[in-house]
Structure 1
Amino acid sequence: MHTCEKIYTDIPMGHVQHRHPGHCSFVHGHNWSLTLTFACEELDHLGFVIDFGGIKFISQWISEHLDHACLFAKSDAEGLKMLAAFPHLFKPYILDNCSAEGLATHLFDVFDALVRKESANRARLKSIKVGEDSKNFAYFEK
């Protein structure tokens, strides 16, 4: 198996851990990073796992959905009420679990589907590393 890696850095996002007993229960933000590891069995006609110049669709997706977004869990009733009351204050992104681990799991499925589609199933996402900052990371792989 061949692999390669692409890193996206300085993605400003907020989130709230509504069940956390400490300060993470407040809306707060980080400069997130995403490290995507791609894999394939056979290289393409250029000798690449994936052409880094040909995956702008990923950075566009990140810009559209995550850049300056605030992550909320579907189970966060108070957060969802706040969004309904003040929709102009947030670029919401709602998912099952807005921890770094939950975001890694969610984004793995999103990016794997995009990569498989764009490569006609030749390449896939092998793993994702999500960093809240320069010290705290979560990983997901299949």
Structure 2
Amino acid sequence: MFTCKKTYADIPFAHRQHRHDGHCAQIHGHNWSFTFTFGCEELDECGFVVDFGKLKPIKAWIDENLDHACVFNEDDPLLADILAINEASGCKVYQPYVVDLCSSEGIARHVFKVINPKVKDMTGGRAFLISVEVVEDSRNSATYEPDRS
């Protein structure tokens, strides 16, 4: 198998981990990076796993959904109130984005599930996503890689 990686860095967004017993339960932000590892058995006509120049839809999805967003767990008990405050402000205090789990691990899994079908579509099913690594402020990271067995 051939592999390659593409990293998108310095994407600012916030999250709130309501289950945490420390400061992470508060809305707080990081500069995030995403490293996508792509794989294929057969290279394209240029000898690439993926053409990095044709990955603009991935960057566009990140910019549209996560850049300067605030990510929440779908089961956050305050989610409805938080969203109502955002709407009532009349100026959208933040851009909410709701996922199953807004930890680094959960975000990695969510992004994998969103981006892998896009990669397969862009390459006619030839290439696929192997993993997504999410980095918080260059100090902490988590990787999601599904079991392929």
1:78-137 CA distances to partner (integer Å, 9 max, x unpaired)? Answer: 133111122211201100100000000110111101100111100000011001111100
Once the two structures are superposed, what CA deviation does each residue of 1:55-81 show, in whole Å capped at 9, x if it has no partner? 111001111111000000000121331
Q: Which runs of structure 2 are paired with 1:60-139 in the superposition (5 Å)? A: 60-87=60-87, 88-139=92-143
Whole-Å separation in 2 of the counterparts to 1:16 and 1:123 = 34
SS in 2 for 1:42: coil
Identity of aligned residues (%): 51
- Secondary structure at 2:78's aligned position in 1? helix
Say whether the 8 Å CA contact 1:72–1:98 is kept in structure 2.
yes
Further displaced range: 123-132 or 74-83: 74-83
Q: Write out aligned runs for 1:45-56 (5 A).
A: 45-56=45-56
CA RMSD of aligned residues (A): 0.8
SS of structure 2 residue aligned to 1:77: coil
Contact 1:83 1:90 in 2 (8 A): no
Q: When the two structures are superposed, what TM-score results if normalisation uses the length of structure 2?
A: 0.93
Partner-residue secondary structure (3-state), 1:14? strand
Give me the TM-score of the superposition, normalised by structure 1.
Answer: 0.97
Query: Gapped runs of 5+ residues in structure 1?
Result: none
> Does the 8 Å CA contact 1:72/1:80 hold for their aligned counterparts?
no
How many residues were matched structurally?
A: 142
The separation in 2 between residues aligned to 1:110 and 1:80, in whole angstroms, is: 24
One-letter code aligned to 1:33: S
